[in-house]
Chain A
Amino acid sequence: MVSPLDRKLFRDLARIKGQAAAIGVVIALGVMMLVMMTGLVNTLDETRRAYYDRYRLADVFAPVTRAPERMADRIAALPGVAAVQSRVAGAALIDMAKGELPVRAQALSLPDIGLPRLNDIFLTSGRLPEPGRSDEIVLLEGFAKARGLKSGDKITATMNGAKRQFRITGFAQSPEFLYSTAPGEIVPDDARFAVFWMRRAALGAAYDMEGAFSEVLVALTRGTNPQSVISAADLLLAPYGAAGAYDLKDLFSNRFISEEIRGLRVSTASIPPIFLGVAAFLLYIVISRMVRAEREQIGLLKAFGYTSWEVSFHYLKLVLVIAVLGAIVGSIAGVAAGSSLAVVYQLYYKFPFLVFTIDPRSFVIGFGTSILTASVGSLFVLRGVFKLTPAVAMRPPTPPDYSRAFDLAGAMKRWLDQPARMVLRRISRYPGRMLGASVGIACGLGLSAATLTMMAGFDTTIDLSFTVLDRSDMTVVFTDKQPPKALLELGRMPGVLHVEPIRVASAVLRNGTYSYRGSIEGRPELPVLNRVIDTDFRQVPMRREGLILSQTLADILHVTPGDWIEAEIREGRRPVLRLPVIGTAQTLTGAPAYMELGALSRALQEPEQVSGAYLTIDANRTEQIFERIKGMPRIAGATLKEDARNALVEIMNTGPASVRFVMLAVAAVITFGIVYNAARIALAERMRDLASLRVMGFTSGETSFVLLGELGAVTLVALPLGSALGYGLTYLMVKGFSTDIYQIPAVFSPSSHGTAVLAVLVSAAISGWLVKRDLDRADLVEALKTRE
């Protein structure tokens, strides 16, 4: 048996269904963002963990030039080591079709029989190379897909100076290569870097590694500090050209995905609360208005003998139904959106499977926030219910008192007609309510402005990196350090216009406990093709005295110009340098450290050498240049700037950063929802006044002015407020979206704010039109007869 009060509840809900739906949607969107984003973070985290676990990804990687197999046993005997797997790893160049650059590749060995103990691969199709076959390979699936290669296809690769032909027997995914990036590049690109696996004997023969390995992988026992094993391994392997063992967290692919998960986590902690907060605020405004409108019925219920508690609980239930339904819809939508986005991520990160994990806490938080804000908002209003005596409630309401309000309209009597005065008086009589509506709209505007600014920030990043800084057409990387005369050879090629050298020395940069595994880039004194600039876009010349750090790196290391940092060079003699920081530079990709080329060579105590070059080329001769480069054994690879740019754009548009598109849509819906609600509330509150005006003979346009004038004023106040709010929100958002690979600048973007303002104005115009239509359709007589 449904109680009459509950029946009233459902009828009331049906009556206010439009508005209830609008509030419900805003709550649902807030909860959806929360559930979706926490779901994504957890899913990515769990999937990664499970993938690493199932395919036994190593904890420590120790590359060497060439070490005898017995050294692997020595490392296995180190305390804390659970398992080791030695392997042969070598650089290769895969020939592509005519007119295309060869692709850099990494060749890795599989044991001659069976699967590796560590860093196993997931065979997506085909089979492993037969033991004893030296012409069979398994290819990284991402590359194969990007290049349209099929099982059974033949490819030619240059390994250790010799060309060899291989047949592809299968494709694989590997936890080690969730992201594949050519050495020396920042942005992953499936099409421009390949990994292939061969049997150990075959690969060993190709690289003269019989009975030896070039990398040992180490799994640690639980609780072992990787640093102690790294130090011990470095010591053991030092005589064999150890490049320095490193931790899983420094594995590029893992570092990249960790950064993305971290960014997503920051976004998850900052963005859904903003959306939920806005929803909560809106809910409060609407509920207070709803309860005010129910005044007479409250009196009636009390007159029948219902207690204040019962009456309050009745209205609370109404609110809770909206909040809970909103939260349920939001949770379902969040799970749906989260799981479909996770599938997109699965493709993007190349996980062989997905451990879809929803954090139950996100439901609790989502429901809790919705219910709490809804209840607090209505309890605040329902206090009035306790005070109201039935008799007072049922008498015709006393007109709201305008006599004590600050009378701006009276002061401006001469310039205003009565309708304008009504608008102004209401605003000065209820500044709180008006400000509330303004703040609500400002929240929507701020959300949209911040989201749009952030979107513009992505473009800024691309633009700064590939137009302002990098003015070259192509980057060439040598297989190994070369004397400067290698540049002359490049410069002599027909079609090459300018050549600018670069020397990259990989290094761990340290300031006390802060460290960063990156590199020092040696540049000419005044780089022209790939420039270094400060925040005012002035070029920063390289100086001999020390390092110029990108601001990102300076922030990571907590240093400012004038400080000294330590650089552990990870190549050659592996010296440890102490270098002064003499300046900072603006970059939005990576976290580079720059030094003058000559000064770097001196610091490394080596003759001047280069590791690559930036080129400008004659676009008509691109193909010939590629052909020439293919024939140059010292060139490990070449990248067109356009390809690198496209790869970054692709990452931004398909990776976690793609959440920003969902955010923009949500921000737009919320903005419209808020403006529309503000208009509806104004209409509901003023229906009687407006009907009176119509009855007196005011035209529908004149009457609408009283209503829409208020909406207009509220909206105008909201504009600067929202813009300021958006400015602040931008900082919160970009922090979450910036990663190791790229940073999103939080720059004020007038056009983004302009667009957001326009969106609010359009929302206001549409809302105004919708409520005006309702006003025109309203039953005047009914409106006048009902008491408030």
Chain B
Amino acid sequence: MNPREILPETGSIPRPAFAAKGLTKVYGEGSAAVHALRGVDLTIPEGEFVVLLGPSGSGKSTLLNILGGLDRPSAGSVSFEDSSLTDMDDAELTRYRRDHVGFVFQFYNLMPSLNARENVELVTEIARDPMDASEALALVGLDQRETHFPSEMSGGEQQRVAIARAVAKRPTVLFCDEPTGALDSTTGRAVLKVLTDVNERLGTTVIIVTHAASTAQLADRVIHFADGTIRDVVLNDTKLTAEDIEW
């Protein structure tokens, strides 16, 4: 890996997926106030594989939630393509998540009452231009387990169903919050492989929050967080494949 530091942003990227300016997020008030984000400026180009790295409480998840339309900043602005996320009301944010965003969480969050295929269909039923549920499951290598319920699958398999569910709508952006946090190295690698595949084959922008530094070896762009600010942004020229990264 041969990281090259660029600060500030060069502006050479043709079309940014996200552009944030002065993003601030404060939880609580007065002496109990916690500053999760302290004026973050950031541009993420379309189609990149981005890893947000940093210790717990550094603000990376907060940023992810704001970009994903799950939370609102206390100050500052953020736009997705040509629309301002900060100006959207709840219904518009719902629409934004429905049409553009896929989420993968550490704890999968599958519907236990639906089998693998049905969990994916949950999304394809409401998406504008979804892929077939089987296709999405094939993408994560689970086409043979379509009718299995979450209780019948391993953690890695459940996470892959969660990814299939997230990508089935052909999202513009895929957000992953510690997607391998609950997995061992073998299943973790398999999950990361699926994520890089989605990024390469579908052109989906993938943004991963993790504190596993090894994941950064897969990224186009690594953003380091500390104390609610971006410490540095590193562009990675020598991306490894999921099989090759150190765990």
Please give the residue numbers on chain A whose beta carbons come within 8 Å of chain B beta carbons, in ascending order: 396, 398-403, 417-419, 421-422, 425-426, 429, 688-689, 691-700, 702, 780-781, 784-785, 787
B151 to chain A, nearest CB (A): 4
Q: Are B107 and A697 in contact (CB under 8 A)?
A: no
- Which one, A399, A419, A780, contacts B150 given CB within 8 A? A399
Q: Are A399 and B112 in contact (CB under 8 A)?
A: yes
Q: Are B114 and A781 in contact (CB under 8 A)?
A: no
Q: Which residues of A contact B99 (CB under 8 A)?
A: 697
Q: Are B97 and A697 in contact (CB under 8 A)?
A: yes
The reply on B88 being an interface residue by CB < 8 A is no
Q: Are A399 and B149 in contact (CB under 8 A)?
A: yes
The 7 closest A-B pairs by CB, nearest first: A697-B98, A399-B112, A399-B150, A425-B113, A401-B151, A697-B97, A418-B122
* B59-74 vs A, Cβ < 8 Å mask (1 yes, 0 no): 0010001001011000
- Which one, B103, B105, B114, B158, contacts A418 given CB within 8 A? B114
- Which one, B98, B101, B151, contacts A399 given CB within 8 A? B151
Q: Are A787 and B107 in contact (CB under 8 A)?
A: yes
Q: Are A697 and B95 in contact (CB under 8 A)?
A: yes
Residue with the greatest number of chain A CB neighbours at <10 A, chosen from B94, B96, B112, B125: B112
Q: Are B111 and A689 in contact (CB under 8 A)?
A: yes
Q: Which residues of A contact B208 (CB under 8 A)?
A: none
Inter-chain CA distance A787–B148, complex, in Å, is: 22
Q: Which residues of B contact A419 (CB under 8 A)?
A: 122
Q: Which residues of A contact B113 (CB under 8 A)?
A: 400, 402, 421-422, 425-426, 429, 689
Q: Are B121 and A418 in contact (CB under 8 A)?
A: yes
The reply on B143 being an interface residue by CB < 8 A is no
Q: Are B121 and A785 in contact (CB under 8 A)?
A: no
Residue with the greatest number of chain B CB neighbours at <10 A, chosen from A398, A399, A700: A399
Q: Are B151 and A403 in contact (CB under 8 A)?
A: yes
Chain B residue at smallest Cβ distance from A401: B151
Q: Which residues of B contact A402 (CB under 8 A)?
A: 112-115, 149-151
- Which one, A694, A696, A781, contacts B123 given CB within 8 A? A696
A659 to chain B, nearest CB (A): 46
The reply on B245 being an interface residue by CB < 8 A is no
Inter-chain CA distance A781–B65, complex, in Å, is: 8
The reply on B132 being an interface residue by CB < 8 A is no
- Which one, A429, A694, A697, contacts B126 given CB within 8 A? A697
Please give the residue numbers on chain B whose beta carbons come within 8 Å of chain A beta carbons, in ascending order: 61, 65, 68, 70-71, 90-91, 94-99, 101, 103, 105-107, 109-115, 118, 121-123, 125-127, 148-152, 155, 158, 165, 169, 182
Inter-chain CA distance A784–B182, complex, in Å, is: 14
Q: Are B97 and A695 in contact (CB under 8 A)?
A: yes
A40 to chain B, nearest CB (A): 50
Given known contacts A399-B110, A401-B149, A784-B109, A699 and B91 CB-to-CB distance under 8 angstroms: yes
Contacts A403-B151, A697-B98 known; list 20 others, CB within 8 Å: A399-B110, A400-B151, A401-B112, A401-B151, A401-B152, A402-B114, A402-B151, A403-B148, A418-B122, A421-B118, A696-B97, A696-B103, A696-B126, A697-B94, A699-B98, A700-B90, A700-B94, A780-B70, A781-B71, A785-B105
Residue with the greatest number of chain A CB neighbours at <10 A, chosen from B65, B98, B122: B122
Chain B residue at smallest Cβ distance from A428: B113
- Which one, A422, A688, A697, contacts B114 given CB within 8 A? A422
B42 to chain A, nearest CB (A): 19
Chain B residue at smallest Cβ distance from A699: B94
Chain A residue at smallest Cβ distance from B150: A399
A768 to chain B, nearest CB (A): 20
B157 to chain A, nearest CB (A): 11
Q: Are A688 and B109 in contact (CB under 8 A)?
A: yes
Q: Which residues of B contact A698 (CB under 8 A)?
A: 94, 98, 126
Q: Which residues of A contact B126 (CB under 8 A)?
A: 696-698, 702
Inter-chain CA distance A697–B97, complex, in Å, is: 5
B131 to chain A, nearest CB (A): 15
Given known contacts A403-B148, A696-B98, A396 and B110 CB-to-CB distance under 8 angstroms: no
Inter-chain CA distance A401–B158, complex, in Å, is: 13
Residue with the greatest number of chain A CB neighbours at <10 A, chosen from B121, B126, B165: B126
Q: Which residues of B contact A781 (CB under 8 A)?
A: 61, 65, 70-71
Q: Which residues of A contact B115 (CB under 8 A)?
A: 402-403
Given known contacts A699-B91, A780-B70, A781-B70, A692 and B109 CB-to-CB distance under 8 angstroms: yes
